[in-house]
Structure 1
């Protein structure tokens, strides 16, 4: 996988911004959003092989700037590999189903995991899921981490995870 999710995030978010946000309240005008705490668990893949499992925690902030909602995340794998970063999400809803794209630069600590070529690693991906009537979301996420060619070594790392996110009602 390459930077496909990052490109999709930018295309979808900027298109949404131009169509739905710029004409009304301003392209990046802040507005209240539902904050969430998400917990994910799943497989880590390197060079198309499953190498470990990862626990991932993410906080989606209670504000959006146009279609972009700030998000902060941290993950830890069984081999001591860690990642922490912040960026943004873009979400679209289909009744109670949803799709969310994210793009988050962060810091990678290798532990006993693979050499990804840089301490700076970008995490981008997609989540597809369902929101229950109580606001809890259940989703399947797939993401890719790489250094966007900041280094000559850039093999990338993928995760497939089950995610549950809880509304926090912070305003």
Structure 2
């Protein structure tokens, strides 16, 4: 139990320190980025894998340059074909490599299994990496991989691994 509380506390403290030490300068961009994605939920579990779709919002007015790079909050939701759903909010880092963008993120959220996989707890943590490429007119196309886990908060912690194809658009 102490290990669980310590892990969660470290994650919360890490996020707070990152935003507290943020430089107040903002990157000049359009203020809203939407990420529409679809893919396969829990592709590594043949019995419970399912198609998924989702949307994620990023307000780039809230970007901050920190010692970890450029960070911004993200909020989103995804749903599977088995009516499992996940609503989350967290933080995403942004690293540009020419016309490629590398975006790791961490987001705790609420998971409802619906008719899908029982992940063991309503509170799940999403760790994700996304690689996208710039397109014309403030658009991007990419791929991402995420892992959902409850950090052993529940009686079981099977986790779920998913891959997605992403279309991102700035508004």
Relative to the length of structure 2, the TM-score reads: 0.78
Partners of 1:114 and 1:47 lie apart in 2 by 12
How many residues align? The count is 148
**SS of residue in 1 equivalent to 2:121:** coil
Choose the corresponding residue for 2:73, options 59, 62, 70.
70
Q: Which of the residues 18, 21, 36 maps onto 1:27? A: 21
**Higher RCO, 1 vs 2 (CA within 8 Å, ≥6 residues apart):** 1
Q: CA–CA distance in 2 between the matches of 1:60 and 1:158? A: 23
Contact 2:43 2:50 in 1 (8 A): no
Q: In the alignment, is residue 39 of structure 1 matched against residue 36 of structure 2?
A: yes
> Contact conserved, 1:47 with 1:155, CA < 8 A, in 2?
no
Alpha-carbon offset, residue 90 of structure 1: 0.4
Structure 2 unpaired stretches of 5+: 1-10
* Other structure's SS at 2:157 match: coil
In structure 1, C-alpha distance between the alignment counterparts of 2:138 and 2:40, rounded to whole Å: 26
Kindly state the Cα deviation for residue 46 of structure 1 after the two structures are TM-superposed.
Answer: 5.7
Q: CA deviation at 1:151?
A: 1.7
CA-atom RMSD in angstroms: 2.3
Asked if structure 2 preserves the Cα contact closer than 8 Å seen for 1:106 and 1:123, the reply is yes
Query: How far off is 1:32 after superposition?
Result: 3.3
Structure 1 residue 138 and structure 2 residue 106: aligned?
no
Q: What pairs up with 1:1-171 in 2 under 5 angstroms?
A: 27-33=21-27, 34=29, 35-45=32-42, 47-49=44-46, 51-62=49-60, 63-66=62-65, 67-168=70-171
SS at 2:129's partner residue? strand
By how many angstroms is 1:103 displaced? 0.4
Structure 1, gaps ≥5 residues long: 1-9
TM-score by length of 1: 0.78
**What SS does structure 2 have at the residue aligned with 1:68?**
strand
